[in-house]
Chains A and B, each alone.
Chain A
Amino acid sequence: MNDAEASRIAEKIHQALARHLRIERERIRPGSLLREDLGLDSADTIELVFKLEDLFHIQIPDDDLEKFKTVGDLTAYLAAKTQAF
């Protein structure tokens, strides 16, 4: 995966998050903590994952959910996951 592809995925996730949380895109940074900074509770996280699965045409195993602490974790995970295809 090249840098352009990685930043395309990051942008897609940032936009999805902004829509999901109804906050400004600028508030979302790679280091933002999903729970503490962006206020996602466990139900929100499940909803977000549902949206991302749809967006990227993938399935995310439940065991992987606990890996997502920051926005960056999500981006890296999805970049790796989509690269695998």
Chain B
Amino acid sequence: MNSYRSQVAAEVKGFRPEIYFDARKVEKTDRSAQFALAAAKMAIEDAGIDFTRAERYRSGVCVGSGTGGMIVGERQLTALYHHATAHKVHPNFIPMNTMNAPSGQIAIEWGLNGPNLTIATACSSGAHAIGQAMNLIRGGQAEVMLAGGTEACITPLTFAGFCSLRALSTHFNDVPEKASRPFDRKRDGFVMGEGAAILVLENLSHARRRSANIYAEVAGWGATNEAHHMVIPEQTGLAIARTIELALADARLGACQVDYINAHATSTPAGDQVEIRAIKEVCQAHAGDVLINATKSLVGHTIGAAGAIGAIACVLTLQTGLIHPTINLEEPDPECALPGIRNEVQQRRVGVGLVHSFGFGSNNAVLVLRKVQ
């Protein structure tokens, strides 16, 4: 269909869900739950964690999603109106479409009887899910949480909705690989992506007891609401700055200890500027020393998965000291330029990293991740 203003999307190609779980479950799950199930399996296998019977009520799931099972939702709505009979709505439409299908399916797949939550704060869902999972562990309700986000909403209706909202890039339809360009002067909207990221969070003694390979510590987090506008960020950046400060206070760290920021940076004209304004407000003179990148330049904006994908990028940066490039940054916009944002790989020892994640509904979340000594 060429009536879409934007012609660019970052789809996951060649995904084969039957590699990750039983083929019968494939028919009973929306792509968003399939991504989450696949990511959960990879995370559990990488963590080498074995959920023994005794531990299952202490092990839970918290997954963020912006839109839920949109693919099945749109198909069933189409079937209903096309056939004009209610009998054509599939019996599994509701369990496939519901927002908490991904977190429920993960629990069923792995026998996790602990707290099971779904967080819907639009584009900040993934980061909020990790923060809430940390709260559950801190509060003693769980020892292990599978936490992250998932999204699969590159669908005719949702894509049209974002187009109509003028949120997506339109000037790079002929060169799609150039369309996602956070902090660049020519950026003109985000590129819709899809995918999932799941992390295994556990309390420190649990991790030590099983000699886990500890990638990083979730040291703290902050969450605020700008109480301002459903889709437009508050222009001064003070609300985001306050979120960063709250997150750092939760982690008992100061702004000058931040080495790296995985920026929210969706490549929209207003959003990227506000974010840098906030970083400068919090870090002051230190802002020029902080290394910053935008993972969305590489994979597009994965909506409810974005904060969790950013968290994984941050964790890997803490491990390797490598900061991936912000690609397509050809001519930095002076309104959101900082020396630490580069279109090249940077390398430095990174002890403390932030993950920024902001969402429609005036939502902000900031995670603080720290290298484990």
Q: Which residues of A contact B (CB under 8 A)?
A: 21-22, 43, 46-47, 50, 53, 59
Contacts and interface: CB of A to CB of B under 8 A. Distances in A.
Contact of B92 (A21, A47, A59): A47
Q: Which 3 A-B pairs have the closest CB atoms?
A: A46-B91, A50-B91, A47-B91
Given A22-B24, A47-B91, 8 more contacts: A21-B24, A22-B23, A43-B92, A46-B91, A47-B90, A50-B90, A50-B91, A59-B87
Given A22-B23, A22-B24, A43 B91 contact: yes
A50 B24 CA distance: 16
Contacts of B24: 21-22
13 contacts: A21-B24, A22-B23, A22-B24, A43-B91, A43-B92, A46-B91, A47-B90, A47-B91, A47-B92, A50-B90, A50-B91, A53-B87, A59-B87
Q: Which secondary structure characterizes the binding site on chain A? A: helix
B92 to A, nearest CB: 6
Interface string B84-113: 000100111000000000000000000000
Contacts, number: 13
Nearest to B95: A43
Contacts of B91: 43, 46-47, 50
B95 to A, nearest CB: 8
A22 B92 CA distance: 17
A59 B87 CA distance: 8
B76 to A, nearest CB: 12
A18 to B, nearest CB: 12
Nearest to B92: A47
Nearest to B90: A50
Interface in B297-332: none
Contacts of A59: 87
Q: Give the one of B23, B87, B90, B91 with max A CB within 10 A.
A: B91
A49 B248 CA distance: 56
Contacts of A47: 90-92
A46 B92 CA distance: 9
A59 B24 CA distance: 25
Interface in B1-50: 23-24
Nearest to A54: B88
A60 B23 CA distance: 27
A46 B23 CA distance: 19
